[in-house]
Amino acid sequence: MNKTVMNYFYATFFHLASILSSVITVPYLTRIFLPSDLGVAAGATSLVQFLMLVGGFGSSYYGSKLISKNRYDERNFAAAIKAVFSMQFVMSLIILLIAVTILSVANFSEKGVYLIAVFSLLATAIDVSWFFAGLEEFRITALRNVLIRIFATISIFLFIRSSNDIYIYVLINVLSNIFATASLWYYVRKRVDIMQVIKAKVDFREHIKPAFILLLPLIFSYVYTTLDRFYLQIIGTTTDAGFYEQSMMMVRTSIIFVTTIGGIMLPKMTLLLSQKLQNPEEIKKLMTQSFSIAVAISILITAGIYGGIANFVSWFYGPEFQAVIPYYYLLAPLPVLVACSQVIGQQYLIPSGKDKKVAITFGIAAILSVTLNTVLIPKFGGFGACMTILLVEFFAGGIQLYHGKNSINRRVIAKDGLKYLVSAVAVVVVMKGIEMMLGTGIFPTIIMGGSAVLVYLLLIYLLKVSILSEIGVRR
């Protein structure tokens, strides 16, 4: 459990660095670019990230799962590395070639932005983060990514001076992705005999189908979590896309504190479930702890948005972006919905081999997303996209909970969940009270955020949330 806690610490450290980077750069960018400029960049980024996902061929799930399963088998370990890397490398280069060919003959005003962004596929081609995830070595990827994030942040201030620099902004993001993945190879060579990997015999027919099955939920999930920016640009307006992108970017960034738990627990649960002598009670205990912690964090995030986002927006964004506040209010429940879906799907259903159930759930969710976006965006613009993502996540989370209902202690979750909600209401009241006394600005926002965390932790302690005793906190 200590290693799991440390892995979460490293991953959280990286995400905190990402948030700090956004805190530093977003106010600058929203004063340089118009909402429509950032909307174009968001549309290109969302489409290219989808291509990167397909190019990765499910390596983030399948690679981590396969490495974890074979980490103590030297022969199969080398073959697993070769299989996963070969599939993602070939697929990424094929997609890059097709994308460059299509964009070269296309004719639209934002063509240059898309042509630059698509080269992020090179980062996917050489990515080996799944290798370290499978070994549960998150320290290396976290520290490398933090260094690259610092490089990107400095580059933004050095090279972006006017709204004409949108191409440079996209290029900085592309190069950051490539450098981040390339730098990991130094550590791979220290842990693996590369020649042994090259010489390993691999029957790719054994890997293509299971990798593809795990790719499907990633694609379907992406359709309703990221391509919505692209939909907004096509059937809505670039201004709507800009507002939606800014609010969703910050909400999704905060959600990472929840989804990180799933990425860390996936290889651990895979190892536990692959053992011949399984301990069902131990697995259920771990799942209940993980689920309760994820719900606790997500409810605090939601409370923080309702209690302090208006204050935050008043100084964080430029004057052109004040209309983003209603988007935040609509998206505030999203962390809780994502927590319920991610914990069950990523930590139980996938490690236990129930990949098809996850794929079917996300497939239906993707169809629902396209349908609702087509209906709601023309009528409500960016607000329609917000309503769609909430409804789709509610559906996906509900189905995942149904499939994995026996993997958690529902009585414990229900009791703890109610106490988290009571604590969250108190947090919102405290934050609004501080705002009334101190007004708006950077300092009041910091005080509100710090007070929210302290009040929340104190209340769940006083309310005797059961998970505290299970993780060793005395009451």
CB atoms within 10 A of CB 470: 14
* Together in a domain, 240 and 307: yes
C-alpha–C-alpha distance, residues 343 and 359, integer Å: 15
For helices 228-235 and 382-403, angle between their N-to-C axes, nearest 10 degrees:
150
Residue 189 structure tokens: 């060579």
Query: Among candidates 15, 3, 16, 38, which has minimal Cα distance to 324?
Result: 38
CB burial class (10 A; 0-12, 13-18, 19+) of residue 278?
A: exposed
* 135 plus 255 within the same structural domain: no
Q: What single DSSP character describes residue 320?
A: G
Please state, as a whole number, how many other Cβ atoms lie within 10 Å of the Cβ of residue 332.
Answer: 21
Domain boundary among 168, 202, 236: 202
How many separate helices (H) and strands (E) can be counted in the chain?
22, 0
Helix axes 280-316, 410-438, angle to 10 degrees: 20
CB 440 within 8 A of CB 398: no
Counting beta carbons within 10 angstroms of the beta carbon of residue 5, is it exposed (0 to 12), middle (13 to 18) or buried (19 or more)? Answer: exposed
In this structure, are residues 91 and 215 in contact, taking their beta carbons and an 8 Å threshold? no
Of 164, 181, 202, the residue at which a domain comes to its end is 202
How is residue 465 written in tokens? 């949330």
Distance CA 449, CA 246 (A): 20
C-alpha distances out from residue 387 to 102, 327, 379, 383, 384, Å: 33, 10, 12, 6, 5
Long-range contacts of 283-287 (CB under 8 A, 24+ apart): 283/407, 284/407, 284/408, 284/409, 285/409, 285/470, 287/343, 287/347, 287/348, 287/404, 287/407, 287/408
Residues spanned by the domain of 258: 213-468
132 within some domain: yes
The answer to whether residues 341 and 397 touch, using CB atoms and an 8 Å cutoff, is yes
Number of domains, the chain: 2
Cα(309)–Cα(332) distance, integer angstroms: 10
| SS3 assignment, position 226 | coil
Q: Are 461 and 362 in a shared domain?
A: yes
Are 242 and 143 within one domain? no
- CB 65 within 8 Å of CB 267: yes
Which residues of the chain are under the pLDDT cut of 50?
A: 1, 277
Domain closes at, from 202, 232, 257: 202
| Cα–Cα distance, 61 to 76 (Å, whole number) | 18
Residue 306 sits in the same domain as residue 361 = yes
Residues 113 and 231 grouped into a single domain: no
Whether residues 5 and 86 share a domain: the answer is yes
Q: Is residue 422 part of a domain?
A: yes
CA distance to 25, 29, 31, 166, 415, per residue, from 316 (Å)? 10, 11, 10, 20, 37
Same domain, 155 and 182: yes
Is 208 part of any domain? no
Instruction: Tell whether 78 and 29 lie within a shared domain.
Output: yes
234 and 176 in a common domain: no
Rounded CA-CA distance 121/63 in Å is 18
Query: What is residue 58's predicted lDDT score, i.e. its pLDDT?
Result: 82
Q: What angle do CA 385, 368, 46 make, to 5 degrees?
A: 50
- Identify whether 473 is part of a domain: no
Count the Cβ atoms, other than its own, within 10 Å of residue 379. 8
Instruction: Kindly state whether residue 474 falls inside one of the protein's structural domains.
Output: no
Per DSSP, the three-state class of 24 is helix
* Angle, alpha carbons 178-138-84 (nearest 5°): 60
- Cβ atoms of 134 and 63 within 8 Å: the answer is yes
Total Cβ atoms within 10 A of residue 270 = 21
How many other C-beta atoms can be found within 10 angstroms of the C-beta atom of residue 294?
Answer: 26
Residue 350 within any structural domain of the chain = yes
Closest CA to 336 of 261, 412, 409, 258: 258
Q: Where are the alpha helices (DSSP H) in 160-203?
A: 166-182, 185-191, 194-199
Strand ranges for 14-108 from DSSP E = none
For residues 164 and 230, state if they share a domain. Answer: no
Q: Specify the amino acid at residue 270.
A: T
Q: Say if residue 190 is in the same domain as residue 274.
A: no
pLDDT of residue 424: 95
Length of the chain: 475
Distance in angstroms (rounded) separating the CA atoms of residues 153 and 131: 27
pLDDT at 420: 94
Largest CA distance in the chain: 69
Q: Is residue 475 part of a domain?
A: no
